[in-house]
Structure 1
């Protein structure tokens, strides 16, 4: 699902809200998640999951096309761990509209 589809589904479920307001709310939530993770923090949404940052150490890699070895710099990447409720719902196979 893309952001515009998410906004549209929320508007359909909450017809008293304007689409522009829902778009602003969804954008604000996503921006706050990104900012929280960018600061190296952990963003937790009970019943949904946890966004966090995991470091990756510098290492020597290999270009598979040329076989050349190269140095890969240390970096950080975002990690998402789904909550138990999400795992249970996925394993039951339930999909709601």
Structure 2
């Protein structure tokens, strides 16, 4: 599902809101989630899952074209872990 599909589904499910209102709400929620991760905090949505950051230390990589050693800097990578309810629901839907 992409963002526009989510907005359309929510607008159809809640007819009292316009599509523009739904779009603003989805944008605000995603912005809040992003800002929380940028600050280094963890996000937990009960029954759905949690978002966190995994730290990757600096390393030496290789340029696949030339084989030259390249320094890869340290970075934080977003990570999602599905909650128990979501895992059960997905597994039972198969």
Question: Structure 2 length normalisation: TM-score?
Answer: 0.94
Q: Which whole-Å CA distance do the structure 2 matches of 1:7 and 1:29 have between them?
A: 12
1:29-40 matched pairs, under 5 angstroms: 29-40=29-40
Structure-2 residue corresponding to 1:74: 74
1:1-97 matched pairs, under 5 angstroms: 1-93=1-93
Unmatched 5+ residue regions in structure 2?
none
Runs of 4+ in 1 over 6 A off after TM superposition: none
Q: Which whole-Å CA distance do the structure 2 matches of 1:46 and 1:25 have between them?
A: 20
Cα distance per residue 1:30-77 (max 9 Å; x no partner): 000000000000011111111111111000111222111111011111
Q: Which whole-Å CA distance do the structure 2 matches of 1:67 and 1:26 have between them?
A: 44
How many residue pairs end up in the alignment?
94
Unmatched 5+ residue regions in structure 1?
none
